[in-house]
Amino acid sequence: MKSYPLDGISLSIPAVYDIAVHQASVRLAPAARRRIQAARNLVERWVRSGETVYGVTTGFGEFSSVRIGPADLERLQENLIVSHSAGAGDPLPAEVVRAMMALRVNALAAGYSGIRPETVDLLVAMLNRNIVPYIPSQGSVGSSGDLVQLSHLVLAMIGKGRIMLQNKGAVKTVPARSVLKRARLAPARLTAKEGLALINGTQMMTAFTALAAHETRRLVTIADIAAAMSTEALRGSDTPFDDRIHRVRPHPGQRLAARNVRTLMRGSEIRESHRHDDPRVQDAYSIRCVPQVHGASRDALVYVERVISTEINSATDNPLIFPGQGVHLEGGNFHGQPVALAADFLAIALAELANISERRIERLVNGSLSGLPKFLTPNGGLHSGLMIAQYTAASLVSENKVLCHPGSVDSIPTSANQEDHNSMGSISAQKAWRVLRNTQTVLAIELLCAAQGLDFARIYKGSTPLKAGAGVEAAYRTVRSVARPIVRDRVLHDDIERLQVLTRSDKLITAVERVTGILQ
């Protein structure tokens, strides 16, 4: 299994996904350890000299003017964690918590936080042993960082929180102290600055958005595959994907999406069977404008990836400590606005992939539009075929429209109006996560309907079955490996679930690329 050195400057989105989902291990880079120690030495010098440093020798937020004596500095840090562990709601998914842990280590590795190396080592050890804290999902306003969620993470580190355990598919929670003891790990004893160093940051919202962006990178290609299958099943034209069209409006994502569909349809007998005698001059927008719509979502994703790649290699603490200059600077790097905007944009980009997919689904099941059997069943009336699959897709895209109202335009003051503008990035990121899952399901439904439509489109104009493009054929075979043709009514939920899993893996893209070469 791969192990990633965390140094605060070179972590990538794919690496975060590997650590979070595939449980790759991490380690603190040697240079990072030296930087952490240098900042820590400075904190300890300030404590000895009695210098006024926010959150080190003072209280927090509205209490920043309250001086804390040397005897209470450790209690101050533990009280911070206990009092801020005020979350509510369902627990965060384990993969999101693992991503949070890795991101927090990486932020501390930059060496601007003043934490002790041994405290970071505990967080690394917990991650590598898959000791996943129980963290409620609600309570962050996303500006002094994700304070509530990170406090619950640290609550487990000090042995006062709970740990999530998987048991035959069910999740239960157990006291953190007992889990740490079994793992031969001593709970952290927080000294000056350490509690604050661990919870000032955007790690929850960034974890959600990083994982969602990684899955979206796969999904934009799957959307192109689904669109190509639907185009073939609906006997659509390949003209809208001609590169000459897209060279004169050269948005990068648009050209890539057009190239993918063109590649997937290459060599199609179905297309050739109606090239010269189709009465339609143009296809509907959901077919003809695939490059423009899918491409815009692709370009949005590039922006999101740039923002998140920057954020995962940023120091988001306050105050920040600069050992080279011997100073501490109070600022606002914990404010989640960059991530909040990116998460909202990602949700919108995903929702548009689902919107246009649902319109293709409607054309496939609507016999008046498709020229295919109504609801893609050979025995309509007695059998309903894929009628209700479109209902599910319609429901999900409607839910997405509600979820795409941007959280980042909202704000509510907290901490006696000291924190008077908040990003709500945690809400934006969790909404984007839900939109991602909904969009994966809508595309799963399109794959199901498009494969069924291809079964009928093959016999257009004759009894000899026609072939689709080589890429579409490879996609069809992969879909059929998990969802057989629908001859008579059956429970569609199972097919949709299996295909939704397919949209979350590399299996479909890999199968197609074996015959087409690399898709974009």
Phi and psi at 191, nearest 5°, equal -105, -175
In order, the DSSP letters of 270-336 are HHHHTTTT-S-SS--HHHHTHHHHHHHHHHHHHHHHHHHHHHTTS---SSEEETTTTEEE---TT--
Question: Catalytic one among 54, 391, 460, 476?
Answer: 54
Give the type of residue at 347.
Answer: A
Among 487, 436, 450, CA closest to 220: 436
Exposure string (b/e) for 226-249, b if CB count within 10 Å is 16 or more?
Answer: bbbbbbbbbbbbbebbeeeebeee
As given in the structure block, the two tokens for residue 388 are 């209700």
Please report, to the nearest 10 degrees, the dihedral formed by the alpha carbons of residues 143, 431, 215, 393 taken in order. Answer: -170
d(CA 450, CA 456): 10
460 catalytic residue (yes or no): no
Residue 507: Cβ-neighbour burial (10 angstroms; 0-12, 13-18, 19+): middle
Instruction: Please give the structure tokens belonging to residue 255.
Output: 């050209």
Distance CA 88, CA 151 (A): 13
Residue 16 near residue 214, CB atoms below 8 Å: yes
Tell me the one-letter amino acid at 214: H
Q: How far apart are CA 377 and CA 384, in angstroms?
A: 7
Select from 163, 176, 32, 188 the least CA-distant residue to 98.
Answer: 163
For the chain, give the number of residues: 520
Is the peptide bond prior to 279 cis by the omega test (within 30 degrees of 0)?
Answer: no
Tokens standing for residue 512: 């197609």
The two tokens of residue 220 are 């934009």
Per-residue buried b or exposed e for 407-422, using 16+ beta carbons within 10 Å of the residue's own CB: bbeebeebbeeebeeb
For 85-150, give the DSSP string. ---EEEEPPHHHHHHHHHHHHHHHHTS-S---HHHHHHHHHHHHTT-EE--EEE---SSS-SHHHH
| DSSP-assigned states of every residue in 378-436 | TTBTTB-TTHHHHHHHHHHHHHHHHHTS-GGG----BTTTTB-----HHHHHHHHHHHH
Q: Which residues does the annotation mark as catalytic?
A: 54
